Amino acid sequence: MEIYEYVGNLHNHTPYSDGILYHRDIAKAAAQSNLDFLIVTDHNVWVTGVEGYYEFKD
């Protein structure tokens, strides 16, 4: 049985709660850092409102 080691970030926030970077920028930074996985853990509040969510939705 092979054992694999993964490197990632388990805790990130976007401006939709209290973070600075949006999902796309966080993903780019994770890719540049060669992370295997990334988890965004925003709080369950809309700091910028629902409108902000739909504005950046692809």
Residue 3: inside a domain: no
Residue 44: inside a domain: yes
Which tens digits make up the pLDDT trace of 2-58?
999 999 999 999 988 889 999 999 999 999 999 999 999 998 876 555 665 565 555
Domain that includes residue 31, residue range: 8-55
Residues in the chain: 58
Q: Which two tokens stand for residue 57?
A: 């939705």
Residue 36: inside a domain: yes
Residue 38: inside a domain: yes
pLDDT at res. 43 = 85
- The single-letter code of the amino acid at 58 is D
Q: Which two tokens stand for residue 5?
A: 């080691």
Q: Provide the domain count of the chain.
A: 1
Residue 46: inside a domain: yes
Instruction: Tell which residue, 5, 1, 25, has the closest CA to residue 13.
Output: 25
pTM recorded for the entire structure: 0.69
Residue 1 Cα distances to 4, 6, 7, angstroms: 10, 16, 20
